[in-house]
Amino acid sequence: MARVAVIHFADRVAEAVERKRSQVVVGLDPVVDLLPVELRGEVVLGRDHAAAACERFCRAIIDAVAPYAVAVKPQAAFFEALGADGMRALEAVCAYARAAELLVILDAKRGDVGSTARAYAAAYVEPRGDAPALADAITVNPYLGRDALEPFLAACRRDGAGLFCLVKTSNAGGADVQDVRLSDGTLMWQHVAALVGGWGEDLVGEGGLSAVGAVVGATFPREVAEARRMLPQAVLLLPGVGAQGGDPANLAPAFTSGPASALVSASRSIIYAYRNVTDDWRGAAGGATARLAHDVWKASAW
Amino acid sequence: MARVAVIHFADRVAEAVERKRSQVVVGLDPVVDLLPVELRGEVVLGRDHAAAACERFCRAIIDAVAPYAVAVKPQAAFFEALGADGMRALEAVCAYARAAELLVILDAKRGDVGSTARAYAAAYVEPRGDAPALADAITVNPYLGRDALEPFLAACRRDGAGLFCLVKTSNAGGADVQDVRLSDGTLMWQHVAALVGGWGEDLVGEGGLSAVGAVVGATFPREVAEARRMLPQAVLLLPGVGAQGGDPANLAPAFTSGPASALVSASRSIIYAYRNVTDDWRGAAGGATARLAHDVWKASAW
């Protein structure tokens, strides 16, 4: 096995947060049409060139943001949209991020039954032969219940993997299911939060945080605060700042379990920060990450 | 665009069901350790060989089951577990199935917000340049609500794609979320069924069935009958016969909206039918499909 000593995922997060004084996760959502002109040139030649351009873009973004971010969060969909070449790019980008000492949180929102769940866990959060796991952690969907997440929980236990389970998503439409009121008066997302707490309670690291975290949209600060109260041991992953409108200043309550108890994720507002502003896309991404890291760190230290 | 005339997904299903007198969907879950010995030989040489072996296996299974099945359902996880080579195999297998005049239902259970959902739809159910879409239909997860499915609904409208939304899954653990009682006395899966009905109501084909179908586990026959009553226009996709224990004889109520109003999916009990029985794995898969097709057709014609 490649990981000589298995360090608990939440402890790896805490180490990175303290070392960098940052809780920022940079989402990697490569979209060909949004790439800098210098990278877009050959894309007309086909999907393999598109994947290569996206890979070059992500590598450069990783170099630019590495001093200010604790993790990158590649969004699987954008790589899958480029076919097999895109998946090869995803593998390369994840390896590059790890080499840059960034944690890798694969945003894949998987969830499936039995042997299928085992295949997803093997694909993304288990060591692959002599090679390390593709990602340190993965986002998962709770709709299929605990048994569908069991292979991922096993990877947390055995391989030091991390999970972030969807609880309250950042989009307005999530209310269709997540805000439905239950017979006991609570809402569905609160029920799921309670499940997530149970799934993670025997997976707590030395720092007191669990390998099973929760995704809560930064677009809903009241729900963020409530999820924090319900899940004192979970690392909260908070997407939705920047392009989706969430404000870091409202996220202070997320950090009452410590500086590493929440991670703030931004994607387009960082990686495409250059657009309509400057040709220096690397500098713009680095600057946007540094500013967000500063704002979040300030909010976390209340 | 490759599809000269866009035929509604449910009408394509109905045509195939009538032509083949079958409602069987064969799940393609390639697992290296379960492949016939003659295909397993080179797998030790690496992941690319493993992917090639899985592709050869799936092609042969497609040849064997094509006379008796209306669709194949590649399970994305098993291809993703083989990395980029696996994704290339998935593309090849989907193209091969289409050439064999089988519908392709990609079992990917995707669900994500905004631009990410658009990327997933582009990856799997939209035409890719001059090439057709990878799949005719895809399974999706409802937890993120309607706006997360909008790009898929647009593909139904524009490209003749189909959707199967998880409603009541075949695993026992699904109850953790799906069987939770709501304040109005219904269960969560019934709430989701009602949402699915609404999402599909303006996407009904000439045969009276919608492009938006529902996944209901054949392991829960009572819930299958109830989903049928709640969703008279939906094509129900019923996994869980065979290895998971569902019995085709109990599925008659699923077909009260017509012979093409439900599809019965089996994976391991067909593609690995040969194990411990015979070396003729192709013949065993074909035979298992023919038997299931017969049993389901009989149940549908009550």
* Cα R_g (chain B), whole angstroms: 18
Is ipTM beyond 0.90? yes
* CA-wise closest residue to A47 among A81, A70, A18, A20: A81
Higher pLDDT, B244 or A3: B244
Neighbours of A14 (CB within 10 A): 22
Of B78, B144, B188, the CB nearest to A188: B188
Closest chain A C-alpha to B214 CA, distance in angstroms: 14
A186 chain-B contacts, CB cut-off 8 A: none
Interval B72-117: pLDDT, tens: 999 999 999 999 999 999 999 999 999 999 999 999 999 999 899 9
Mean pLDDT of chain B: 94
> Which residue numbers in chain A have pLDDT < 50?
1-3
Nearest CA in chain B to A81: B123
To the nearest 10°, the Cα dihedral for B184, A140, B193, B219?
-110
- State how far residue B121 is from chain A, nearest Cα, in angstroms: 8
DSSP state for residue B21 in the 8-state scheme: T
Size of interface A-B (CB pairs under 8 A): 191
Helix, strand, or coil (residue B61): helix
Interface test with B, best of A73, A109, A147, A195 (most B CBs within 10 A): A109
What is the β-pairing status of strands B262-266 and B236-239? parallel
Q: What is the SS3 string spanning B122-133?
A: HHHCCCECCECC
**Can you give the pLDDT at residue B24?**
98
Nearest CA-CA partner of B264 in B242, B286, B233, B231: B242
Domains of chain A: 9-297 (3.20.20.70)
| Tally of CB atoms within 10 A around A45 | 11
How deeply is A220 buried, as exposed, middle or buried, from its count of CB atoms within 10 A (0-12, 13-18, 19+)? buried
Q: Residue A258, exposed/middle/buried by CB under 10 A (0-12, 13-18, 19+)?
A: middle
User: How many angstroms separate the CA atoms of A3 and B16, rounded?
Assistant: 50
Measure the CA–CA gap between B181 and B168, rounded to whole angstroms: 14
| Alpha-carbon gap, residue B139 to A247, rounded angstroms | 34
Chain A residues with CB-CB distance to B30 below 8 A = none
pLDDT of residue B129: 83
The backbone torsions φ and ψ at residue B66, rounded to the nearest 5 degrees and listed phi first, read -55, -35
Q: Which chain B residue lies closest to A32 (C-alpha atoms)?
A: B119
Quote the minimal CA–CA distance from A287 to chain B in Å: 24
Q: What is the DSSP string of A179-218?
A: TPBBTTS-BHHHHHHHHHHHHHTT-B-TTS-BSEEEEE-T
pLDDT tier at B251, thresholds 50, 70, 90: very high
Cα of B192 to nearest chain A Cα, Å:
7
Inter-residue contact B59 to B81 (CB < 8 Å): no
d(CA A144, CA B195): 17
In three-state secondary structure terms, A1 is coil
pLDDT at B167 over 90: yes
A-chain residue closest to B180, CA distance? A182
Question: What tokens were used for B40?
Answer: 């397993």
Q: Which residue bears the tokens 């692959």?
A: A128
Looking at residue B81, the DSSP 8-state letter turns out to be T
Helix (H) or strand (E) holding A232: none
How confident is the model over B266-285, as pLDDT tens digits? 999 999 999 878 889 999 99
At residue B302, the pLDDT reads: 62
pLDDT in tens, B175-197: 999 999 999 999 999 999 999 99
Q: What is the DSSP letter of B94?
A: H
pLDDT score for A302: 62
pLDDT on residue A130: 85
Closest C-alpha to A204, from A231, A229, A182: A231
Q: Which residue of A has its CA nearest to B81?
A: A123
CB atoms B174 and A119 under 8 Å: no
Residues from chain B that touch A85, judged by Cβ atoms under 8 A, are: 84
Distance CA B129, CA B140 (A): 23
More confident residue, B49 or B205: B205
Closest partner residue to A171 among B86, B145, B178, by Cβ? B145
Across the interface, of A115, A148, A177, the residue whose CB is closest to B142 is A177
User: In this structure, what token pair is assigned to residue B61?
Assistant: 């299974």
Evaluated on CA atoms A204, A231, A76, A96, the torsion sign reads negative
Question: Please, are residues A90 and A76 in contact by the beta-carbon 8 Å criterion?
Answer: yes
| Contact (Cβ atoms closer than 8 angstroms) between residue B239 and residue B220 | no
The per-residue pLDDT for range B11-60, each reduced to its tens digit, is: 999 999 999 999 999 999 999 999 998 898 766 667 778 999 999 999 99
Residue from B54, B82, B143, B184 to probe the interface with A (highest A Cβ count within 10 Å)? B143
Q: Which of B112, B173, B180 sits opposite A148 (nearest CB)?
A: B173
Q: How far, in Å, CA of A148 to CA of A154, rounded?
A: 11
Q: How far apart are CA B168 and CA B216, in angstroms?
A: 5
What is the pLDDT confidence band of residue B1, given thresholds at 50, 70 and 90?
Answer: very low
**CB contacts, 8 Å: B120 with chain A:** 77, 80-81
